[in-house]
Structure 1
C-alpha cells in the first residue's frame, strides 16, 4: 500500500502539508510502515487537499481532506480495508468525470509521480525519447518529426515549432542557445508553474532534445521569482539529471554536451515577449527590440537562440517517443495535438485541464469545468489574459483552436480561461485588464506608454458614471492606434479586451453612460444599496457589520441605509440571511 498526497502550490495552499504531517504522526503512533509520496497537481485544484490510497484493489482518491478525516481514513481504509465512499471522488473503476474528455500529454505525469525523484520519471518512460534521439536520430530527423507532429508554440502566438528550430539550426554561429520562457504573467494563468512543479524532468528532456536539434550546448529557463516551489523542484531536477549523466558533458556517452541554468525574472509581464526576455537574460532592462533580426538569427548576446515556453518543450519527449503522427491524430487540421488550460473565475471545477484542440468552449466549461458557480448564467470567457479578449455566450460553440479563437477577437494565449457570470461587469473587467497592461508597459514606445493610459482614463470615466457617447468612439479609435503603432506584442494586443467587449457588450457601455447604471451591479459609483421593507425583520446584523455605521433602525423594525455614508463594501448583503438587501 502507498499514499499519494498532492503537494503542488494549490495543494499546499489548501493545507496539504498539514495533511501529510498528520498521516506521519498517526503512522508513528500506530507503528504503521507505509510510504507517503508527494506529488504535483493533478488539475483538480477545487478538490485539494487530495489524497490517493493505493492498495491491491486499485487507487482511491479522497478529496478536500481535513485532519479529522485523516484519522478516519487510517482507521477504516488503511487498517480495516474499508474505503470510505462518502469522501471518495475517484477510483480506477470510476475515475474523475472531468477526465473523460481530457487527453493528457503534457500533464501525463502531473499528480502521478513524485516530481522530486528522477527514478519516478524514468520509471514512467522518462528520458526514453532523449536516448532515442541521441543514439538513433540526426538533428534534422528530430526537426522533421516535430514538423510531422504539427506542434505549434504554446506560448500564445502558435508559431510552428519546427520552423523556429530549423531557422536556429540553419543560422551560422559558433555558439547557439536554447531558452525556455517560463515567465507566466497572465492573471489567472498557472499552466507552466504546475508543469514545472509536477513534472520538471519533462521540461528538461524537451530542452535537451531541442538543443540537440539546433546545435546548442547551453540553455536557460527564465522563470518568475514568484514561483519558489517550481524553482526549487527544477533546481533539484537539474542536479539529478546531471548525476545520472542526462545533463552536462557527454550526455549518455553520446558526445553531446548541454548545460542548463535557471534565471529568475522579477515579474515584468513584458518579459514574456521574447526579445524583452533576452534583454533581461543579458542583464539589461527588459525591453523589446525591433524584429528582424529574429532571435533565431540574433538572440542572446547576438547568437542564434531558440525560445519556446514550458508547455511546448514538455510536449517534445512524448512526440519523439511516440512519433509525430501519433500527436497529429489529436486536434484539427491546422491546430494539432492538445492544449493545457487553467480554468479560473466563476466556474465550479477550477483547475488545470488538457484537451484536444478543436473541443468547443461549451464542452470545456460545462462538461469538464462543471458549469458556472451557484448555477448562475454564463456571460463570457476571457482567453489570452490581458492580451486576449472576451468571448460571449452566443459563441460558446466555438472550437478551441488558434484560427477559431482568433476569429472571435480573442487569442489562444498561453492557456488562461477566466469564466465570467451575470454578475461580471464587462466594462469594469476591461478596465481591470487595461490597468494591468498600462502598468506593465515597459514605456519604450509612445503608443503603448501613452495610448494605454488614455484608454484606461476613458474606462475609469465610464465606470464612474462620467462617460459620454463620444468616449466610446475615442476608445475604439485609440484601440486601433495602439494596436497598429506599438512595437511589441504587449501593446499590439492590449486593446483586445476593449475591442471585444465593445463588439459584444456595447449595450453595457451605453447603460453606464446614458442610464448611469451598471447592469451587473459592480461599479460602485453607479449602484446604491437598499433594504426591502417587506423582507427586513430588523435583526440588526447588517448594522452591526457596517464599518461606517451607515445602517440605522430599531430592533424588529425595517432598517434604512444612509446613502451619503454608505461606502458600498457589500458586507450587509453578505450578512443578511433574509435577502432583504439589494443593489440598484
Structure 2
C-alpha cells in the first residue's frame, strides 16, 4: 500500500465543480509532478464539504488547513509554500465575517463549530468513488452487525428505540414504518430510496449521494434485511448527473466486494439495488406518485390507505425513506440507538441537515442537533445577514413550509415546534430573507412553484391553488380588495383539509404563515397600494430628491422611456405616467438622489 506524507482534499461537489474545482485538481496533479512530489502527496477528490459560499475548497491533511475560494493559479504557491516550505498561505484562509480574523483549520470556523455531523459524517472527507475509504471509516460494519448478530425484529426495535423520524418531510417514525412493512405478508417486498429532491434551494440529498453514496446503500440494505426485501430502487432526479454517476460506481463496487447482490457477506441474505432516474416532477417526492413513476406510469398520487407498507410498488409491500434517513441508519446500528437518541429533543431525536440559502453570509449545508434554535443556525452558523441588513423572516420547509418572523428566532428546531408556528421541518430547505423582501411576493413565489408542480389529479389542489395564486398576483399588482384576505384564508384551510396528497395539503402554508405574521404588508398592498419593501413593481413610484440631485443628467440618458427631464445642474424630475419602473436610473445615479417607494 502506497503511503503519503500529506493529502490534498479537493471538493468535488456540484457547487465547487461549477466553480472550477476540476481545473484546480488538474493543476495540483501537474504541479506535484513538476515538483516530483506525486509519490509523497495524494490528491483526493471528495464530495461537498458544506461551506458552498467559500468554494472551491482545498484542505491539506493531516493538519486540516482550510483554503477557500481557491483558483488554479493559486496551486503553485500552495505547493511551494505549504507543502515544501511548511508555511501556510495566509491570503487563502477563511476570514471570519465582521472581524476579518483568519482561521487556518476548518474545525475552528464558526460555520462548523455548532454542527454535529452524522448524515454528512464522510462528506468532504473521503473519496466517494473509492469504497475502501468508506470501509476505513467503519463502512458496512453496521450492515455486518445486523446480518450476523441481530434478527430483523431486533433491527427494527433498535430503530424504534433511536427515535429516528423520516427526514423527507413527514417525520414519521422510521422504526414503525419498517415494522409495518415487515409484518405485511408476502414473499416479495421492495425497499425504495426517495432521492427526488425538488424544493427550491435544497441540495441536502444530492450532496450525500455525491459525497457518501455507500452510506445510503448500507442504510437501504439494513432496511431491506429488516423488512424482508430482496430488491430496491433509488429514485433520483436526472438533473443530478454527478450523484447518479457516483451511485453507479458505488453499486458496482459494493457488488464486486460481495456487499450487495447475492449471499451478502456469506449470510444468505440477498438484495439488489438499481437506479431509477426521475424527470424532475416535484409531485414525485410523494411516495405513491414516486412508485407510479418507477412502474412507468405518470407520476400522480393515489389515495391512502392502503399504504405502501401494505400495497406499494407493483402492489407488493414496500418501504420508502429518503436519502438522509438512510444515511443515519448505519451509525445507529453501529454505535447503538441510545447514543443517537441522546441527541435532540424528547420527540425529535438526532440531527437534521439544512440547506442554508438566501440573504446569509455563509450559505451551504449544515447538520445540527435537533433542538438548536433558529437564531443559532442563522447567526452563529450562517454568519448573520448579508450587508448588515435587518433580518425579516426565514422560510423553513421549502414550498410546503412557512415563514417564521424575528420574534420566534429562539424557537427550538424540531418537528412539533415548527408545526406550532405554521411551518414544518420539510426536507430541510431554509431560506433567509432580509428587510428588502416583500412577504406577499414571497408567498406568491412559493405558491407559483407548487401550483405549477401540481399534477392536477384532485380539484382542491388543481383549482384551489390557482385561485389563491390569482388573488396574490392581483394584490401584488395593486388591485387587491379587503375581501381577498378572507378568501385566501378560507381557500387555504379547505385545500389543506381536502387535497389528495402532501403537495396540495401543504401548498397553502407559505400564504397562511405570511398572513399570520405579516398581515400589515398585505394591508399596505391592499389599502395603501404600497409595497413596504419596494419589490412589487406595480406599486412602486420613482422620485428624484431635489436636494440631492446634481443635475448631471446620467439618469435621463439611460431611461428607456424618456420619462426623466431637466436642465443641467438643476434637479431633474420623473414623469410617473411614462415611467416603466425598470430601475435603470437608480443604478446609474452616483448621488443616491433617486428613491422608490
TM-score interval w.r.t. the shorter chain?
Answer: over 0.9
CA distance in 2, matches of 1:194, 1:338: 16
Alpha-carbon shift at residue 103 of structure 1 (Å): 0.6
From 43, 53, 59, the counterpart of 1:52: 59
CA distance in 2, matches of 1:174, 1:386: 39
Alpha-carbon shift at residue 394 of structure 1 (Å): 0.8
Change (3 A) 1:12 1:535: farther
| Corresponding position of 2:185 | 172
Residue pairs, 1:439-458, within 5 angstroms: 439-458=452-471
Change (3 A) 1:575 1:35: farther
CA distance in 1, matches of 2:442, 2:223: 39
| Corresponding position of 2:445 | 432
| Corresponding position of 2:11 | 6
CA distance in 1, matches of 2:548, 2:406: 34
| Corresponding position of 1:497 | 510
Secondary structure of the 1:5 match is strand
Gaps in structure 1 of 5+ consecutive residues: none
| Corresponding position of 1:314 | 327
Alpha-carbon shift at residue 533 of structure 1 (Å): 3.1
From 247, 251, 271, the counterpart of 2:284: 271
From 56, 62, 74, the counterpart of 1:69: 74
From 28, 38, 42, the counterpart of 2:45: 38
Gaps in structure 2 of 5+ consecutive residues: 1-5, 95-102
CA distance in 2, matches of 1:3, 1:161: 38
Change (3 A) 1:324 1:514: same
From 507, 513, 531, the counterpart of 1:518: 531
Comparing 484-493 with 572-581, greater Cα deviation is found at: 572-581
| Corresponding position of 2:234 | 221
Does residue 154 of structure 2 align to residue 141 of structure 1? yes
Comparing 58-67 with 27-36, greater Cα deviation is found at: 27-36
Alpha-carbon shift at residue 32 of structure 1 (Å): 3.4
Alpha-carbon shift at residue 71 of structure 1 (Å): 2.9
Secondary structure of the 1:286 match is coil
Change (3 A) 1:538 1:40: farther
Comparing 564-573 with 308-317, greater Cα deviation is found at: 564-573
Does residue 595 of structure 2 align to residue 582 of structure 1? yes
CA distance in 2, matches of 1:294, 1:17: 45
| Corresponding position of 1:301 | 314
Residue pairs, 1:139-288, within 5 angstroms: 139-288=152-301
Q: TM-score, normalised by structure 1?
A: 0.97
Secondary structure of the 2:49 match is coil
From 108, 116, 129, the counterpart of 1:116: 129
Listed one character per residue, the Cα deviations across residues 332-355 of structure 1 (whole Å, up to 9, x for unaligned) are 011000001001111111110011
From 378, 381, 393, the counterpart of 2:406: 393
CA RMSD of aligned residues (A): 1.7
CA distance in 1, matches of 2:224, 2:167: 18
| Corresponding position of 1:331 | 344
Secondary structure of the 2:108 match is coil
Comparing 278-287 with 549-558, greater Cα deviation is found at: 549-558
CA distance in 2, matches of 1:183, 1:95: 34
Listed one character per residue, the Cα deviations across residues 104-124 of structure 1 (whole Å, up to 9, x for unaligned) are 000100111111111111111
Listed one character per residue, the Cα deviations across residues 211-270 of structure 1 (whole Å, up to 9, x for unaligned) are 000000000001111111111111111111111111111111111111001111111111
CA distance in 1, matches of 2:567, 2:270: 80
Secondary structure of the 1:188 match is coil
Secondary structure of the 1:381 match is strand
From 368, 390, 408, the counterpart of 1:377: 390
Comparing 172-181 with 9-18, greater Cα deviation is found at: 9-18
Change (3 A) 1:575 1:128: farther
Change (3 A) 1:127 1:564: same
CA distance in 2, matches of 1:278, 1:91: 47
Alpha-carbon shift at residue 457 of structure 1 (Å): 0.5
Alpha-carbon shift at residue 97 of structure 1 (Å): 1.6
Does residue 25 of structure 2 align to residue 24 of structure 1? no
8 Å Cα contact 2:64-2:106 kept in structure 1: no
Change (3 A) 1:22 1:152: same
